[in-house]
Amino acid sequence: MRVFQIEGDWGMANLKLSKRPQPTPAAGQVLLRMKASSLNFRDLVVPDRGYGSYTGTLPLVPISDGVGEVVAVGAGVTRVAVGDRVCPTFFQNWIAGEPDLERLTQSLGGPIDGTMAGYMCLSEQGVVKVPAYLSDLEAATLPCAALTAWSALNTCAAVKPGDRVLVQGTGGVALFALMFAKLAGAHVTVISSSDDKIARVKQMGADACINYRNEPEWAKASRGITGGTGYDLILELGGEKTLPQSLRCIRPGGTLSMIGILSGSTMATSLGLIVTRQVRLQGVTVGHRDGFEAMLRAMAQHQIKPVVDRVFAFDELKEGMAYLKSGSQFGKVCVSHG
């Protein structure tokens, strides 16, 4: 079967189209014929061994997210059957409960082989059935980006009707957060550097928007939106350059969900604001299988459709990764397995 794998040494130059034998499911395992994958910023870091020893060993099949059809099952499998369409879970060992080291280190696309393969063999515990109304490309976007947004809003926090939520940007996590926050009855502000993207998120239900290129002090600009009280929840995706402003516009007792570090990973801000405002700084790393299945039930109930920006062919993986790195996407970048 065809695969993309990092081989020989780390580095994007060593991410190559290759071949491996097709796997066979053992007891408790399922064999998936992969139909589509989707890309996350994490996938740009893995080829350069950006997570150290937790990245895994070579050769490594990258990319964490995808969808496939069950084409064979091993002995004792009961969760799914041949013909079911399923997503692999990002964390293969995190079924429910609180995170621990083992649950947070068994992730697809490093250290476990990811979805850029013709077939995948996984434990039946590490897959979830996806609703029929979603296309393969739409379903492929769910394991990381969608579940991260869901966990930030519903697992690590509990967004209620009338809460004020701020979302940074218009990437995959951000747009899922917008949709899930509106589902909960929240008032949502989106910040973006593009007026065109702002127009699109307004069509999706954003209540307020700030162009941070025109308003670099967007925390100050947000005071009129919140009446000076601040946000109940901020999805912090930027990191180093956005966190100082997030701390200035979170309400006392509010929650900052730390999800991304797209602008840098160093904390250079006044920590006093966290203490004096009793702000909760909550890291969010995807989520567990129970949360995934709860999210799918909510999505199916309300027919929520992921936003797919561009689709690349299997052998165009590197082009897709370069497009994601450019930051010009609106929603998710996907790869069709053909």
State how far the Cα of 328 lies from the Cα of 22, in Å rounded to an integer.
Answer: 36
User: Residue 166 belongs to what H/E stretch?
Assistant: strand 164-168
Please provide the average confidence, as pLDDT, over all residues in the chain: 94
- The pLDDT tens digits for 143-202 are 999 999 999 999 999 999 999 999 999 999 999 999 999 999 999 999 999 999 999 999
> Could you tell me the pLDDT band of residue 271, with boundaries at 50, 70 and 90?
confident
Q: What pLDDT is attached to residue 273?
A: 75
Measure CA 186 to chain center: 21
pLDDT at 268 over 80: no
326 CB contacts (<8 Å, ≥6 apart)?
none
State how far the Cα of 80 lies from the Cα of 125, in Å rounded to an integer.
Answer: 9
pLDDT at 263 over 50: no
Write down all domains in the chain, each with its CATH number in brackets.
2-143+287-336 (3.90.180.10), 157-283 (3.40.50.720)
Main-chain phi, psi angles of 49, to 5 degrees: 55, 45
Question: What b/e sequence results for 9-23 when a residue is b if at least 16 CB atoms lie within 10 Å of its CB, and e otherwise?
Answer: ebeeeebeeeeeeeb
Q: What angle do CA 338, 107, 316 make, to 5 degrees?
A: 30
Q: Can you tell me the mean pLDDT for 332-338?
A: 97
- The pLDDT tens digits for 31-81 are 999 999 999 999 999 999 988 878 999 999 999 999 999 999 999 999 999
State how far the Cα of 319 lies from the Cα of 98, in Å rounded to an integer.
Answer: 37
What is the three-class DSSP state of 14?
A: helix
List residues bridging with 258 in a β-sheet. Answer: 236, 283
